[in-house]
Structure 1
Amino acid sequence: MFLILARHGNTFEAHEEPVWVGAKQDLPLTNTGREQALTLAKACQDNKIVPECIFTGPLLRTREAAQLVAETVSDFCGEIFVVEELREIDFGEWGGKTRESILSLFGEEDLLRWERDAQFPTTACWGESEKAHRENWHAFLKRVSDEAQDSSVKLAITSNGKLRLLLKELFSLPLAESETTREFSSKVSTGNTCCIEVNPTRTKIHYWNENPVEGLKQLARLLSQAR
């Protein structure tokens, strides 16, 4: 089963100063963010990739992106499932603050640990624990892959913090041998996509943090080989 993982699009326009947006900052997509969702939909359409269903977190920015994709991919007839496992992390006292403010108030060490290793800070009162989020990912992957056909495709739309933790979780699971020596940047840019293949014996990361146009081309080639 192939799972496309997409980060929602922009929630700040170019002239606005971005802040950390977590589970308690329920912002809508900007015009640019909506265009990014349409770019994903067009990439699916151009490569004749129609997800069986779409999973999205419950926050407005991910639900808007899911709805735009569902409405734009002409052959999509599946369901949109809103699931808690894809809700962004609660960044606690970091939420709503700029990166500079976080550095000033909490120091560099915890911020760099998060950005480099997806390690939760020791301060700032984040919400659920890292362990709980990683267990949620494990349960979600099992649920979406159970009884799925080998070449089936599903789409999950979530946020950057959750995707950082997923990459960390994936490297604790059985991976294809080639993946153990590859390096990935854990950050996923707004509107970008990742693709993993999940089966009962192993998980394979096909690409990470690709723009939808290039990413979906790669997936189309993989699907042609699988079928």
Structure 2
Amino acid sequence: MGLIVTIVRHGNTFETGEPPRRIGARTDLPLVASGQAQARALGAALPGFDRVLAAPLLRTRATAEAILATRADAPTIEDADWLTEIDHGPDEDAAEDAVLARIGHAALAAWDAEARVPDGWIVDAERRLAGWRDLWRQGAGRVLVVTSNGAARFALRSDESLRRQAEALPSLKLRTGAYGVIACDADGPRLIDWDRRP
């Protein structure tokens, strides 16, 4: 077996009916009850892991902990700063309609389809791409990565083959409580699944 990387987006941080806001690295929200349920469902559905990386935020750490909670032999969660959510700049903690009014639908569509960074957002794409590329070279085993939507999409931009495969996807986005799987072998990384919920 080569390397199999399961990339999970953290669970919900907003209650049902609560207006969504752009939450990034500067807003460290915990999981709400539905987010905790999403994390437990992931734990029940996913296999065991040899290594676990998580962004150092409440929502990502809690999701990783819930996924591993029933496993006696679970590895220690490693903090990985390059997985931390992006900074939405002037749109941080803003309602979605206010964000759209500022950057426009085209800019948001380009972010979701191509990871093209909207004006004012702080992303550090090169650091994120380097982190994913380093991970693809880790060898063999099963790795769990728990991160956010803004960071996860760069996995699909980190390799030319993954870029081509991702063209068939409707979006680079991972929904809350969803995961993707990328397998790596001597031929490089390949996309197995994306945006699946248990």
* TM-score over 0.5 for the pair: yes
Q: 1:131 aligns with which of 126, 129, 140?
A: 126
Q: Deviation of residue 166 (structure 1)?
A: 1.7
In 2, distance between residues paired with 1:200 and 1:25? 39
Task: Give the alignment of 1:20-169 within 5 angstroms.
Answer: 20-44=22-46, 49-72=47-70, 74-121=71-118, 123-124=119-120, 126-142=121-137, 145-146=138-139, 148=140, 152-169=141-158
Paired residues, what number?
194
Query: Deviation string for 1:59-113 (max 9, x for gaps)?
Result: 11000111112222x3433221111121111111121112210122233332222
More strand by share: 2
Residue 21 of structure 1 aligns to a residue whose secondary structure is coil
**Residues 82 and 127, structure 2, Cα contact 8 Å, conserved in 1:** no
* Gap change, CA 1:108 and 1:155, over 3 Å in 2: same
Q: Deviation of residue 8 (structure 1)?
A: 0.5
* Gap change, CA 1:107 and 1:77, over 3 Å in 2: closer
* Gap change, CA 1:71 and 1:180, over 3 Å in 2: closer
Identity of matched residues, %:
30
Q: Deviation of residue 42 (structure 1)?
A: 0.9
Structure 2 residues without counterparts, runs of 5 or longer: none
Give the corresponding residue for 2:185. 199
**Residues 85 and 140, structure 1, Cα contact 8 Å, conserved in 2:** no
Q: Deviation of residue 33 (structure 1)?
A: 0.4
Q: In terms of Rg, which structure is larger? A: 1
Residue 32 of structure 1 aligns to a residue whose secondary structure is helix
Structure 1 residues without counterparts, runs of 5 or longer: 213-227
* Gap change, CA 1:209 and 1:181, over 3 Å in 2: closer
In 1, distance between residues paired with 2:180 and 2:128? 19
**Root mean square deviation of aligned Cα:** 1.9
More helix by share: 1
In 1, distance between residues paired with 2:74 and 2:108? 42
